[in-house]
Chain A
Amino acid sequence: MPTETAASGPTPPSHTRREFLANVLLSLGAACGLGALAFRMAQFLYPVVPPVKRVRVLAGKLDQIPPEGAIILKLALGPVILEKVGPKVRARSAICTHLGCIVQWHPEVREFICPCHHGIYNFNGDVVSGPPPRPLERFSTTIVGENVFVWMKSR
């Protein structure tokens, strides 16, 4: 940078512009570098999520299900509600669609009630009152002899 005496004029504009451009380039470079670092750190932290697959799980026996009621079975892949509807067996997830707690069967009112935020589902799994946004998730079932199999999601 040229030295200036008190009598000389203001700094020539080209120097200021050069400094400005240099600052901008440095900032851009720093942003790219830090951005790349942050991105790689986020990649590291983000968990490896295996794909979902459908598996057939042995839930229980036909005679475990009460004739006019429901039973909640705690399977390895999650809690499942089994009900008899005529000759068929209906299966639903017992996980509340609001914020993930497990519902409880109340036979006296024939409703599933979630203890966390008082979401209430009827016998069909539809929301009757409270904050749950969706009915309880349905699963397909297969009956082989006395055994009830439920198709569930697994990772």
Chain B
Amino acid sequence: MDEVTVKPGRTNRLTRWLWKRIPVDPELLRKPLREPLPVHLEGWLCCLGGTPFMLFCIMAVTGILLTFYYVPYPQDAYNSVSHITYSVRLGWFIRGIHKAAAQLMILTVLLHTIRVFGTRAYRKPRELNWVLGVALLMTTLAFAFTGYSLVYDQLSYWATVVGTNMIGALPLVGKPLLYLFRGGPEVNPNTLSRLYDFHIGILPTVMTLLLIGHFALVRLHSVAPLEGDARHETYPFFPDHVLRESIIGLLVLIGLVNYVLFFPPGIGSPATPAHTPGVIRPEWYFFPSYRWLKLTSLQVGIWGNLLFVLGLFLWPFIDAGFEKLAPGRQLGRVVGSLLFLLTLVFLVWEAIVG
């Protein structure tokens, strides 16, 4: 491209300077902003997709700040987290935001998944985007698991032992995968390094690639129409939808900051490999899996979890199968809702009974 055609009278010298050196077609930038969105997206329920992305950006920033003080070696890990929380200027705040944003991110990803499930936005030709979405959900949970393990207090250490032992319980591939993940047969200093590598290197890369794919597919297909909604009106992405998402983003920030001010982060007792604490539980988002493991034998417990995740990935195809089996009877929605209810029951059961 030799010369970008610039609209006369609407540009200043700086803009012309930039356009000579970065010769991008301005229409290429303006087109995505003008994207027409169907009016059913004006409901607040449909703004749930952008929120986890905003929270991911907050996590990335606070996470990078935390890496300036965190030391990924067993004895020093706990001390460095303690140092961040109690000594570093505003360390409690940065760590608090990171922890609270993590919880909120998982919640909003789950709500977004439930919304997409409820509105059946995964139907043909958007099945692959659902698969990418579930992959994003799993990556988020992997972030939570690896991040939680880095604190190296009692709960953190034993969560690592149990979580990695679950991998080890798989037939054939279990032991090699376990050794690969742990960096040895037992939890050792290499395990912490590997968890750290996953948390700050591998998972952010995977997450970024998945996000690019997810956004690209949403744009390529345009937003899924809502079943039963005959309205054809649209409204522009910019400024209307962006404004709505910005308001949500601001509310999220206000909520996070206030939460951290009233409930600053703490730290448990240091990891003791020789003693499992009497009261031990994973975080709430692993409660359904935890309850299932308590109720069933080891292999059924692990395979049950794996099959559930596989079913989640393949849901659009399973739903299409149900539709073929009983056209118009919404069998997929019924089965899916029942499974969702069961997961909720396990979650509440574990939360209340323990």
Contact for B162 among A46, A49, A99, A130, CB less than 8 A: A99
Asked whether, in the complex, the Cβ of B274 is within 8 Å of the Cβ of A133, the reply is no
Is there an interface contact between A116 and B179, defined as CB atoms closer than 8 Å? no
Contact A104 B297 (CB under 8 A): no
CA distance A98 to B277 in the complex (A): 16
- Our pick among A46, A114, A117 for the contact of B180 (Cβ within 8 Å) is A46
B162, B183, B295 — which one has the most chain A CB atoms within 10 A of its CB?
B162
For chain A residues 74-114, which have a beta carbon within 8 Å of chain B? 74, 79, 98-104, 114
A131 pairs with B180, CB closer than 8 A: no
For the complex, count residues of B whose C-beta is within 8 A of A.
Answer: 30
A101 near B297: Cβ-Cβ < 8 Å: no
Interface size on A, residues (CB 8 A): 24
Asked if B276 and A116 make an inter-chain contact with CB atoms under 8 angstroms apart, the answer reads yes
* B165 interface hit (Cβ, 8 Å): yes
Q: Would you list which residues of chain B between 19 and 54 have a CB under 8 Å from chain A?
A: none
State whether A74 touches B275 (Cβ < 8 A): yes
**Across-interface contacts of A101 in B (CB, < 8 A):** 158, 161-162, 276, 280
CB within 8 Å of A: which of B293-337?
293-299, 301
**Interface hub of A49, A114, A131 (most chain B Cβ within 10 A):** A131
Chain A to chain B: the 6 pairs with minimum beta-carbon distance, closest first: A74-B274, A102-B276, A101-B276, A99-B165, A100-B165, A99-B162
- Point out residues on B near A: beta carbons under 8 Å: 158, 161-162, 165-166, 169, 176, 179-180, 182-185, 190, 274-280, 290, 293-299, 301
A residues whose Cβ falls under 8 Å from a Cβ of B: 42, 45-47, 49, 74, 79, 98-104, 114-118, 130-133, 155
